[in-house]
Amino acid sequence: VSNAECAALVLERGGVELLEERNGHGSTPLHCAVKKGRVDCVRLYLKSGAAVDGRLKGKSSSYNPTPLYSAAISGMSECVRALLDGGADPELLTKENVHSKTNVESKPIHAAAKGGSPDCIRELLDRGVSVDSLCEANGNTPLHYVVSNIIRPEPEHIRRSDLVDCAELLISYGADVTIQTNGGKTALDIAQSPAMTNAARMGAWTPIVKKMIDVLSVKPGLCTKKACRNGDE
C-alpha cells in the first residue's frame, strides 16, 4: 500500500482535520509531502481540502514558506505543477534567511532560481510569472539569483551546470540582462566579478563561469521564446 493510499484511508475515516495538524517543525502534511516529492500525496491533500498556501509555522524560526516556495527551492517540479493546479499563489513572499537581519523576502520564482531547477522555473513562467520579477529588498531578479549562487550553491543538491541551464532558460523567456540590483550590479557584473573569478579558480570550475558569461553576453534583438510567441522577429 502506498503512502497516498494509506493517507486516503485515514481521510476517508474522518481524518480530514489532520490536514491542518503540524509536526514539531511546524509542517502540515502538505509541507511534508512536498519535502519528500510525493506528488500523489500533494494532489490527494489538496483534493481533500488542505490549505494550498498554508505556511510552515516553526516554534523557533521565522522561516515560514508556503508549500509552493518549498517545492520550488527543492527542485520538486511535479509538486510545483500540482500546487499551481491547486490554486497556489506564486506571488506570495517568504523570508529567505531566518538568521538575516535584513528581512529579505522573495517569491517562488526566486526560490526556483536559487534552487537551480530549470523545470520549476519553467512551470512558474508558463503560468504567467514575470521572468524579471524583482526582490524589492535587494533588487535581484531570478537571473541575479542564478548567477550569485554559483559561488556557494545552496541548497546543497544544486549542480553549478544546472545554474547555467537556468540562466539560458530565463534569457530564452526574455529576461532583461541589463537590470541592476540595488547595488548597481547586472547579472553579468556578478559573473565577471573578482570574487567569482577567484572562487572559480580555487574550486576548479572556471569553465562553468566562462560559459555563464557567454550566456549572459547576449546581443539585443535576439528572438527569445517570449518575443517569438508574440510574432516578433
When the pLDDT of each residue in the chain is averaged and rounded to a whole number, the result is 86
Q: How far is CA 37 from CA 83, 91, 103, 160, 221, in A?
A: 12, 22, 28, 22, 39
In angstroms, rounded to a whole number, what is the distance separating the alpha carbons of residues 227 and 222?
Answer: 9
In angstroms, rounded to a whole number, what is the distance separating the alpha carbons of residues 44 and 46?
Answer: 5
Concatenated DSSP letters of 152-172: S-SSTT--HHHHHHHHHHHHH
Number of structural domains found in the chain:
1
In angstroms, rounded to a whole number, what is the distance separating the alpha carbons of residues 66 and 58?
Answer: 12
The answer to whether residue 112 sits within a structural domain is yes
Q: Write the pLDDT tens digit of every residue in 94-125.
A: 987 655 556 789 999 999 999 999 999 999 99
Report the Cα 194 to chain-centroid distance in Å.
27
The answer to whether residue 61 sits within a structural domain is yes
The answer to whether residue 41 sits within a structural domain is no
In our burial notation (b when 16+ CB lie closer than 10 A, e otherwise), range 72-107 reads bbbbbbbbbbbbbebebebeebbbbeeeeeeebebb
Contact 67, 120 (CB under 8 A): no
Instruction: Say which residue the cell 476517508 belongs to.
Output: 12
Retrieve residue 70's grid coordinates: 518549498
Q: Does residue 139 carry a pLDDT above 90?
A: yes
In angstroms, rounded to a whole number, what is the distance separating the alpha carbons of residues 216 and 179?
Answer: 12
Please list the alpha-helical segments (H only) found in the chain: 3-12, 29-35, 39-47, 67-73, 77-85, 108-114, 118-125, 142-148, 160-172, 187-191, 194-203, 206-216, 225-229
In angstroms, rounded to a whole number, what is the distance separating the alpha carbons of residues 57 and 19?
Answer: 14
pLDDT greater at residue 185 or residue 96: 185
Segment 224-232 shows an average pLDDT of 46
**What local confidence, expressed as pLDDT, does residue 120 receive?**
98
The answer to whether residue 67 sits within a structural domain is yes
The answer to whether residue 66 sits within a structural domain is yes
Retrieve residue 205's grid coordinates: 570550475
The answer to whether residue 130 sits within a structural domain is yes
Contact 51, 63 (CB under 8 A): no
Q: Which domain, by its residues, includes 120?
A: 52-229
Which of 15-24, 99-108, 155-164, 200-209 reaches the highest mean pLDDT? 200-209
The answer to whether residue 23 sits within a structural domain is no
The answer to whether residue 2 sits within a structural domain is no
CATH number at residue 74: 1.25.40.20
Q: Give the number of other Cβ atoms within 10 Å of residue 62's Cβ.
A: 11
Segment 26-38 shows an average pLDDT of 91
